[in-house]
């Protein structure tokens, strides 16, 4: 590999194994340059049916008290026609368009024009300008991390309005839920289409673009890696975190307000869903700098999958439990509620501790302590598109010695807790755990495929040292 430049992280030891399979890892890791039939079929399926799935779930709540089977039965028995269901669906309104426009504009302003001040007074919080990971083209992007600040300002204003100003009702989101769905779709499609055109005609970094030659694949999975407008408006960071994730907790609060308006009380299940999902959202913003090192930012290109997914799929389907509880106000017995809380907190602990271990390990280049001991690891190397060789480490102790994706396991436990908070009467609130299981298992496979082509034989050594993916001894 005489033509390769060689780089090693500060304090890193030069790797001895230079036999890596660089043919596959030469700057192409994580990129499906050839689209197989299965991927294409899945993409076409999602492009056609994902918007319908979202509509079906939201419509079943609005028209069928969250029953997933009744709409189908009505249609199959001829009791109702598609047109009856559609005619009962609220259309786009000027009010919803105005709310949505103000919401997105407000989030853009918070993102681009207020530099982070939280890191100046919150001990342990990492905010302000931070660097992302090395892209396959060898670029290191800078990001303004100010999501926590945006979340706090938004929620302070929300509570100020609910308790003092009363400019709008806290049920505003629930009351406009379907008209807002059309607005979210318009933005989701607009931003994905814009990202595709931008990728062809004015990419931010041409070397980090991926063209497979398949129009549908490129539209879905994205062409540009890190599309930006100007120096700081990063599409992935903005659309992933805000407006969708900032909205998540507000949507739940709006559902709780609606429950109180309808039934005069907020049930313990609604409180549990608000608290557990609130912790997850707050964790996301507290760790936004860490998020720069996750797959979404480090490896995924920006297309419909992220653009539409962040605008529509996330705010509408991740909040199904709260929506369900508006229609079915479940009051849990103490043992059930305590069980849900325990599972949710344990899942969160595993999720956070596992992610933290890797973050600490990578930040300190292995010079840290995991569970009171020096971490064990496998040294590995990879090559970026310009031929530069980089060195890295894969940890094999702590939670990362139990399974290769134990952070996903914690996430799944938390997701199950949200669903169990809704009782056992209907299937709809369980959609989330089914979806998360598919998402994270698929992500596991996708990530491992990428890591395998990035690290070659070093990855094989790692999988031999940590043989399970999600559950020690099982899978």
The CA-atom distances, in angstroms, between 276 and each of 271, 299, 317, 425, 440 are: 8, 28, 16, 21, 19
Considering the complex, state which of residue 55 and residue 351 has its C-beta at the smaller distance from ligand NDP: 351
- Report in angstroms how near the CB of residue 33 gets to ligand NDP at its nearest: 18
- Backbone torsion region of residue 229, taken as left when φ is above 0, otherwise alpha when ψ lies between -120 and 50, otherwise beta: beta
Q: What is the largest CA-CA distance in the chain?
A: 74
Q: Judged by CB under 6 A, does residue 417 bind ligand NDP?
A: no
What is the Cα–Cα distance from 93 to 100, expressed in whole angstroms? 11
Q: Which are the contacts of 373, defined by CB distance < 8 A and separation ≥ 6?
A: 397
* 137 close to 208: Cβ distance less than 8 angstroms: yes
Q: In this complex, which beta carbon is closest to ligand NDP, that of residue 426 or of residue 454?
A: 454
**Contact window for ligand NDP (CB under 6 A) among 32-40, 108-116, 336-344, 393-401:** 393-401
Give per-residue burial for 433-443: e unless 16+ CB within 10 Å, then b.
Answer: bebbeeebbeb
**3-state secondary structure string across 203-230:** CCCHHHCCCCCCHHHHHHHCCCCCCEEC
Q: Which token pair is 323? A: 């929506």
Comparing CB distances to ligand NDP, the nearer of 185 and 453 is 453
Strands annotated E in 71-180: 128-134, 140-145
Is residue 74 within 8 A of residue 80, CB to CB? The reply is yes
Taking the C-alpha atoms of residue 100 and residue 182, their distance in angstroms, rounded to an integer, is: 10
CA dist 318 and 322 (Å) reads 9
Q: Which is nearer to ligand NDP, 15 or 454 (CB)?
A: 454
Would you state the structure tokens that stand for residue 56, as one six-digit string? 């079906």
Beta-carbon contacts of residue 291 (< 8 Å; ≥ 6 apart)? 240, 241, 284, 297
* 252/407 with CB nearer ligand NDP: 407
Q: Which residue is nearest to ligand NDP (CB)?
A: 294
Say whether residue 177 binds ligand NDP (CB under 6 A). Answer: no
Residue 443 binding ligand NDP, by CB under 6 A: yes
Closer CB to ligand NDP, residue 179 or residue 401?
Answer: 401
Please identify, using beta-carbon distances, which residue of 85 and 470 lies nearer to ligand NDP.
470
3-state secondary structure of 236: helix
Instruction: Show the tokens assigned to 380.
Output: 């590995």
Does 234 contact ligand NDP by CB under 6 A?
A: no
Position among 125, 390, 399, 408 found at the interface with ligand NDP (CB under 6 A): 408
State which residue, 301 or 358, has the beta carbon closest to ligand NDP. 358
Q: Among 295, 338, 342, 438, which residue sits at the site for ligand NDP (rule: CB under 6 A)?
A: 295
Judged by CB under 6 A, the residue of 116, 144, 218, 447 near ligand NDP is 447
Residue 463 Cβ vs ligand NDP, minimum distance, rounded to whole Å: 10
Q: Closest distance between ligand NDP and the C-beta of residue 367, in Å?
A: 14
* Binding residues with ligand NDP: total (CB under 6 A): 20
Of positions 25, 226, 407, 452, contacts ligand NDP by CB under 6 A? 407
Pick from 135, 287, 392, 397: which binds ligand NDP (CB under 6 A)?
A: 392
Does position 292 interact with ligand NDP (CB under 6 A)? The reply is no
Q: Measured from the CB of residue 378, what is the shortest distance to ligand NDP in angstroms?
A: 8
Selected binder of ligand NDP within 99, 395, 413, 470 (CB under 6 A):
395
356 near ligand NDP (CB under 6 A)? no
Helices 268-286 and 320-327 pack at an angle, to 10 degrees, of 160
Contact residues toward ligand NDP (CB under 6 A) are 294-295, 351, 355, 358, 361-362, 392, 394-395, 400, 405, 407-408, 411, 440, 443, 447, 451, 454
């Amino acid at each position: 590999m005489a033509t390769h430049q060689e780089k090693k992280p500060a304090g890193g030891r030069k790797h001895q194994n230079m036999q890596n399979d660089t043919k596959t890892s030469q700057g192409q890791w994580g990129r499906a340059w050839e689209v197989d039939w299965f991927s294409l079929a899945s993409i076409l399926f999602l492009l056609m049916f994902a918007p319908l799935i979202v509509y079906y779930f939201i419509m079943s709540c609005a028209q069928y008290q969250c029953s997933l089977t009744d709409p189908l039965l009505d249609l199959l028995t001829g009791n109702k026609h598609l047109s009856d269901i559609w005619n009962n669906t609220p259309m786009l309104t000027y009010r919803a368009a105005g709310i949505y426009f103000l919401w997105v504009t407000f989030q853009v302003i918070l993102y681009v024009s207020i530099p982070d001040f939280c890191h100046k007074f919150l001990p342990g919080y990492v905010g302000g300008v931070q660097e992302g990971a090395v892209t396959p083209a060898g670029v290191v992007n800078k990001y303004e991390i100010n999501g926590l600040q945006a979340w706090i300002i938004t929620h302070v204003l929300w509570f100020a309005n609910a308790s003092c100003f009363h400019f709008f009702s806290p049920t505003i989101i629930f009351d406009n839920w379907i008209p807002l769905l059309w607005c979210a779709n318009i933005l989701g499609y607009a931003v994905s289409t814009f990202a595709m055109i931008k990728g062809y005609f004015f990419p931010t970094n041409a070397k980090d673009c991926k063209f497979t030659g398949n129009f549908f694949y490129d539209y879905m999975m994205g062409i540009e890696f890190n599309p930006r407008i100007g120096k700081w408006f990063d599409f992935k960071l903005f659309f992933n975190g805000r407006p969708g994730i900032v909205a998540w907790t507000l949507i739940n609060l709006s559902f709780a307000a609606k429950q109180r308006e309808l039934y005069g009380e907020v049930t313990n299940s609604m409180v549990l869903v608000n608290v557990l999902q609130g912790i997850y959202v707050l964790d996301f913003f507290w760790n936004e700098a860490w998020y720069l090192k996750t797959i979404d930012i480090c490896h995924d290109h920006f297309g419909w999958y992220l653009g539409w997914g962040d605008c529509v799929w996330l705010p509408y389907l991740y909040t199904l439990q709260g929506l369900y509880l508006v229609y079915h106000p479940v009051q849990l017995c103490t043992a059930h509620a305590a069980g849900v809380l325990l599972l949710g907190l344990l899942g969160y602990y595993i999720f956070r501790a596992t992610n933290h271990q890797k973050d600490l390990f990578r930040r300190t280049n292995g010079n840290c302590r995991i569970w009171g001991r020096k971490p064990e690891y496998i040294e590995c190397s990879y090559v970026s598109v310009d031929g530069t060789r980089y060195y890295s480490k894969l940890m094999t102790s702590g939670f990362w010695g139990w399974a290769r994706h134990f952070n996903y396991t914690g996430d799944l436990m938390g997701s199950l807790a949200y669903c169990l908070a809704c009782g056992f009467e209907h299937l709809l609130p369980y959609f989330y755990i089914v979806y998360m299981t598919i998402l994270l298992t698929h992500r596991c496979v996708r990530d491992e495929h990428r890591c395998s082509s990035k690290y070659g034989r070093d990855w094989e050594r790692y999988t031999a040292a940590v043989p399970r993916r999600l559950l020690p001894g099982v899978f």
